[in-house]
Structure 1
């Protein structure tokens, strides 16, 4: 039976430089008025900080929020440098592991705009990214509110420690699975939600043999695909499958370091609290 976390169902439906003035947090060297975002996560974070009006370019992979739909696409999937230059941005932001290194190097060679990259592989890194983008867009108060809200969820989850901790992994690809590394953002969300992340080493997704998943034997799986795609013998042998805990999660929510990190963390925490791990 296909099962979705209730929260995820709801979400699935659902310039020129000038002198800068410090409001709080980090003081940027200048204020930016024409920003291009080359990764869905940074686009979401800029919109989360009420700064969509500063965006002049985005990628074809950006799907949220609806307010970005009219913004010029400059990458599909690789960036069109000529189109970027014509838009005359003063700042380009991108999550570094979501852009080809050769393309990034070419963009950095161009004159007339700054380039800021992010490596968001943990909650702490997400917080740092929000603070940085808040400074770059002069949205200090909004950044503070979002960081405070996330840390409140972390504190709430940790206030009820689980023993034993549910062993959880994040997967995509069904019977040819890719699993989030134990140093990835997804693993850190599991950890801060009260679970124990399991998976390959590293901070990225890695393709693994289904038999390796059986050896890990997770109590719960957060998957970006329908549970029916995790139907091979190895998957069926896991506790997660036997107890109906292979949960489909909207792909964009699960895999992006964007605006819904707090909500994903909260949903994971609730799911762990409702489990009885034997």
Structure 2
């Protein structure tokens, strides 16, 4: 089994090089109290979830994009100046590319991680701060914590009004999702297999952050591993056939195209009955890729997919979300193209 965020620092020790003089103290999601400068002007995101979180509130403070900048088809949904920011590498995840010299070279006032608050990531934050002298904070990326996270981030960045608007919208989406989940519990929970990658044989196990949205929306993730297993896992098509899910979902259009042709995948009941679903993935995924605040859009969409609400108005809801969180009014033709496969029209 693989965990979905693995810390790695390429440089074991560096001399501390502190930011501007600290003038206030804030607490992160773990209760760690860290001194911040009076004004945070630049944030280094430890991974893609943190980059998206900061971007939604304060794109002007983002130092760059971990892993890679947005590609052209993603950038058209984002603020142009922010989309053009450089790659800065990442401190967490499977493709760790940043060393501490790169962090220092970016000259941030704050290093921010957003994801699991397990002890290993607390230790990572403490190590980065000790070795760079830069305040390093960790926020909880679980869905239920999003409103609280926005309030905390607003205080950290002194962007309270902007963060409060996003916290309020997140609270509304989460409340609607809980109501939809209660209706599904009465009607019967749909069973979902979440296929990752072009072959569909990687999945997110029950209880992992990568599949959290499925369970929050009231569906059942069929991928249950051994006791205590979390994160990502490799499975066989034969195992998926044995699970016999009601829906197969994937962010990867290559998998969707392959599954429609492959005899084994086509023998799956969900595929035969037209419930092989392309999850929207631009500019960020609606289930994970990465598991950050972008998943709120998935909670707007899933009740419609599961037949609890009509599709009328989805395009307008998504456009409003993009304006608030992504700082750009999306082109309606592009938006229709994004939504069509998710509604079985692609």
Q: TM-score, normalised by structure 2?
A: 0.63
- Quick one: distance in 2 between partners of 1:274 and 1:33? 44
The structure-2 alpha-carbon separation of the partners of 1:218 and 1:45, relative to structure 1 and needing over 3 Å to count, comes to same
- Quick one: distance in 1 between partners of 2:132 and 2:189? 51
Task: Indicate the residue corresponding to 2:83 in structure 1.
Answer: 69
Task: Indicate the residue corresponding to 2:320 in structure 1.
Answer: none
Task: Indicate the residue corresponding to 1:53 in structure 2.
Answer: 60
Task: Indicate the residue corresponding to 1:84 in structure 2.
Answer: 103
Q: How does 1:181-220 map to 2 (within 5 A)?
A: 181-201=205-225, 202-220=229-247
- Quick one: distance in 2 between partners of 1:274 and 1:224? 22
Matched, 1:138 2:144: no
* 8 A Cα contact 2:88 2:102, kept in partner: yes
The structure-2 alpha-carbon separation of the partners of 1:145 and 1:96, relative to structure 1 and needing over 3 Å to count, comes to closer
Task: Indicate the residue corresponding to 2:202 in structure 1.
Answer: 178
CA RMSD of aligned residues (A): 3.3
Listed one character per residue, the Cα deviations across residues 184-241 of structure 1 (whole Å, up to 9, x for unaligned) are: 2343312232322221344422111111111111111220222122254442232320
Structure 1 alignment gaps of length 5 or more? 1-14
Q: How does 1:186-265 map to 2 (within 5 A)?
A: 186-201=210-225, 202-226=229-253, 227-230=256-259, 231-251=261-281, 252-253=284-285, 254-255=287-288, 256-265=290-299
Matched, 1:111 2:132: yes
SS of the residue corresponding to residue 273 of structure 1 reads coil
* 8 A Cα contact 1:28 1:136, kept in partner: no
Residue 128 of structure 1 and its aligned partner are, at CA, apart by 4.5
Matched, 1:269 2:303: yes
Residue 20 of structure 1 and its aligned partner are, at CA, apart by 5.0
The structure-2 alpha-carbon separation of the partners of 1:210 and 1:130, relative to structure 1 and needing over 3 Å to count, comes to farther
Matched, 1:147 2:167: yes
SS of the residue corresponding to residue 305 of structure 2 reads helix
**Matched residue pairs, number?**
254
- Quick one: distance in 2 between partners of 1:105 and 1:29? 13
Task: Indicate the residue corresponding to 1:6 in structure 2.
Answer: none
* 8 A Cα contact 2:198 2:252, kept in partner: yes
Residue 52 of structure 1 and its aligned partner are, at CA, apart by 1.8
Structure 2 alignment gaps of length 5 or more? 1-18, 91-95, 310-346
The structure-2 alpha-carbon separation of the partners of 1:85 and 1:264, relative to structure 1 and needing over 3 Å to count, comes to same
The structure-2 alpha-carbon separation of the partners of 1:36 and 1:219, relative to structure 1 and needing over 3 Å to count, comes to same
- Quick one: distance in 2 between partners of 1:56 and 1:130? 19
SS of the residue corresponding to residue 218 of structure 2 reads coil
Residue 183 of structure 1 and its aligned partner are, at CA, apart by 1.0
